[in-house]
Structure 1
């Protein structure tokens, strides 16, 4: 398999798809190829359960690969831009490795065909880009990330493969131009978004409707001692509502952690916001004493790769976060990659909670994987919202008109989407995890479902029902 021809103004073939390549370089290389496959040119290797350092060493020496290991970085914060000329990066918490495209082809690891039955490798899959979706219900967009993949990796939704085939490289070219200008435009706007807004509540009330529906104000739990990881586009670490809080942040996309879009700050506010914000602001946060772990896996223009998401998950597991909020939704059927990642998290006492997408149709990846908790969104009447999809739903939570924190100078905003529902579940999960060290992984999952409030709707719409605080 020959490397694609690369234009002179793009990164050369040997460097464009390295492990250390930036999202922008990968996009430029994809444009130069002109194949519209939305593949980054790199590969993800999933190892079989039980694969150990000996197997990795065999790849390093036998295959002649220069293998970096996330364990060589403090807290396993392995950022790809620091890997230099490494051919691969091993992520031990999820038992996977990212391999540069040039190295994969050179060592004949760019295809599943030919892998021996006694190999420690379970599968080899191409890596794909992750882009921001169009949004939710007309309020601030804050959920839905569409993985533009063919159904060779994810079984496509009806019509998805056909629509992808019709997409020209003009989309990628336009998207790349946007990545160069969107941050400046966001800064000029002053409020961090350009979507229709619902004005923030000004009435001095005890708590938001979502917290009340989940019985949060009556709970004696605070999330103390529980690490909550949020994988999104960053966080406003200087927000006045989080002064004095434990916040550990890490970027996996080569940009500062600062949230220029609002999505991450809003999700973190709901899951982990303060007990008593300044008057007349209502209480909007659930786990107000939990430690916040911010993984920036999407750039300021809301794009990334599967590797940026997976390195973020690996970091969250390594830092013993019992609750991992991943408000990401990608088109396609259940993914073997995310199923494996979700199982690794459960095995290590961590629960991955994902949005079920904001398409209003079928549940997308990663939430449709059996090892990842899928969340549906409810309105104030505790009915599924029009943008909440149908399918593999495990639990439901408030997702309409959610008041929460927002990057400065605005500070607060109201938003709607499935991601808001996932944040409510993550916050309640932190409260339950505080009640007992035994409530980890699958046991925490089961506790959330067993204590949920039943709702008069099919399981395919609301799962076990409305999440409740302890």
Structure 2
């Protein structure tokens, strides 16, 4: 059976700051992600190969919005747009699936279901570094490594002002005539504050893929990312912080209020976004796994085939202050998902932003965007908050993709190529920034 996802435990095998160590085993749920070849009769194969006959089908739910609370009695959940199933299997059943994987090619891959987390400020996300202040400072330590060096830096060229955040200035959004009108942007994260006043009157479609939780954002990360990608042109107070203020928003809750979720919820969200013909999917989440996770290779490619571009956070597992450059984690390291690195106000790398691993196909940073000290929306009553992470860079790119999609009509691979070709080349190496700084059309 496919039970509801249990509470996600604290990350194992971490360093003193809570960051997963390189090569530490990734936490998993005990379920498996099975990817089928195009045209394969997946439901029949699950039944005949492994005796998994009770399969919930995404097509049985309106707009293929799978409710995991209603699938707890199933052996598997099938996502029709992606050709992927989430399976709970006994050892003998798993062995049968792996034997089939090595057979005629009808099963592409069988992989453990990973646990993912938001990729941002550990002031509210245990297990990840704070991009604004050193975690030691947040825990009350008096010695802040790097503070003296940071204080000696020259004044950065970009800063928030009364009209625009520094990120909108740096990417040219502040002067772009486009709004993202007619473009659908799905943000798969911790949900959305449906009562946030800055989004009053906007077209927002919401769906929770976390069993037992509504789409209401009890964490904050999702509301912040939706704000950056698609926030208001004229917020109630403070500077404009949103890129594609005219886009249609699809808020999918794939991470719980604790900031964690699994492959199954993420894949459900992508499947739902494709069913709703979303042009861009933004995912500021990940697992610190250096190797490509097989399901996202196929999922990313099939999304592009459907005209949907997925952008994802490269990861926050670096500490460049001590010579640790980290690595791009999953799902961003899929060769068919655009991985986003984070820049600070001088357009240099944020210290936590992950670097390309040269020996991992697809494991590269593809583009970069502002991800340090980013001001955006937050659940009420706080309303706004400034946080950091590759999580914050990713919705900048998603919103800019919406602007390019509006003005060019490009989708999928053509949209990816446009973002890369029209980026601003930087002095930073390509292993850190890919094609460079994402820029809005002018």
Partner of 1:386: 351
Partner of 2:403: 431
Partner of 1:450: 421
| Secondary structure of the corresponding residue to residue 128 of structure 1 | strand
Q: 108-117 vs 448-457, which deviates more?
A: 108-117
Alignment gaps of 5+ in structure 2: 10-24, 130-137, 141-158, 319-325, 357-363
Asked whether the 8 Å contact 1:230–1:295 carries over to 2, the reply is yes
C-alpha deviation, 1:346, in angstroms: 0.6
C-alpha deviation, 1:425, in angstroms: 0.4
What do the CA deviations read for 1:64-86 (whole angstroms, capped 9, x no partner)? 61222101110100122112422
Partner of 1:79: 67
Asked whether the 8 Å contact 1:141–1:416 carries over to 2, the reply is no
Query: Does 2:32 match 1:67?
Result: no
C-alpha deviation, 1:101, in angstroms: 2.6
| Secondary structure of the corresponding residue to residue 33 of structure 2 | strand
What do the CA deviations read for 1:279-329 (whole angstroms, capped 9, x no partner)? 4x1111011111111111111112222111111111111111111001112
Query: Does 2:210 match 1:224?
Result: no
How many Å separate the matches in 1 of 2:257 and 2:351? 28
How many Å separate the matches in 1 of 2:123 and 2:104? 52
How many Å separate the matches in 2 of 1:143 and 1:396? 23
C-alpha deviation, 1:132, in angstroms: 5.4
Query: Does 2:251 match 1:265?
Result: no
C-alpha deviation, 1:384, in angstroms: 0.9
Query: Does 2:368 match 1:368?
Result: no
C-alpha deviation, 1:424, in angstroms: 0.5
Query: Does 2:77 match 1:89?
Result: yes
C-alpha deviation, 1:107, in angstroms: 4.0
How many Å separate the matches in 2 of 1:121 and 1:369? 19
Residues 245 and 366 (structure 1 numbering): CA distance in 2 closer, same or farther, change over 3 Å?
same
- Quick one: which of 426, 431, 440 aligns to 1:460? 431
Residues 307 and 203 (structure 1 numbering): CA distance in 2 closer, same or farther, change over 3 Å?
closer
Asked whether the 8 Å contact 2:311–2:332 carries over to 1, the reply is yes
Query: Does 2:366 match 1:409?
Result: no
Normalising by structure 1, we get a TM-score of 0.76
- Quick one: which of 263, 283, 287 aligns to 2:244? 287
Asked whether the 8 Å contact 2:34–2:295 carries over to 1, the reply is no
Query: Does 2:265 match 1:308?
Result: yes
Partner of 2:28: 39
How many Å separate the matches in 2 of 1:275 and 1:310? 31
How many Å separate the matches in 2 of 1:374 and 1:37? 20
How many Å separate the matches in 2 of 1:460 and 1:37? 24
How many Å separate the matches in 2 of 1:140 and 1:204? 26
Partner of 2:303: 345
Q: 239-248 vs 55-64, which deviates more?
A: 55-64
Alignment gaps of 5+ in structure 1: 1-17, 28-35, 146-193, 197-201
How many Å separate the matches in 1 of 2:327 and 2:26? 23
How many Å separate the matches in 2 of 1:38 and 1:141? 16
Partner of 2:43: 56
| Secondary structure of the corresponding residue to residue 173 of structure 2 | coil
What is the correspondence of 1:171-190 to structure 2 with a 5 Å cutoff? none
- Quick one: which of 264, 286, 298 aligns to 1:329? 286
Asked whether the 8 Å contact 1:143–1:419 carries over to 2, the reply is no
How many Å separate the matches in 1 of 2:438 and 2:161? 25
What do the CA deviations read for 1:18-72 (whole angstroms, capped 9, x no partner)? 3242324x87xxxxxxxx9843222211101332xx4533544674612221011
| Secondary structure of the corresponding residue to residue 377 of structure 1 | strand
How many Å separate the matches in 2 of 1:90 and 1:442? 26
| Secondary structure of the corresponding residue to residue 398 of structure 2 | helix
How many Å separate the matches in 1 of 2:386 and 2:268? 30
C-alpha deviation, 1:416, in angstroms: 1.1
Asked whether the 8 Å contact 2:109–2:294 carries over to 1, the reply is no
C-alpha deviation, 1:129, in angstroms: 2.9
Normalising by structure 2, we get a TM-score of 0.81
Partner of 1:120: 106
What do the CA deviations read for 1:125-156 (whole angstroms, capped 9, x no partner)? 222333457x55x76659969xxxxxxxxxxx
What do the CA deviations read for 1:189-209 (whole angstroms, capped 9, x no partner)? xxxxx999xxxxx98622111
Number of aligned residues: 385
Asked whether the 8 Å contact 1:142–1:419 carries over to 2, the reply is no
Asked whether the 8 Å contact 1:40–1:129 carries over to 2, the reply is yes
Asked whether the 8 Å contact 2:230–2:244 carries over to 1, the reply is yes
Partner of 2:274: 317
- Quick one: which of 116, 126, 136 aligns to 1:130? 116
Asked whether the 8 Å contact 1:140–1:415 carries over to 2, the reply is no
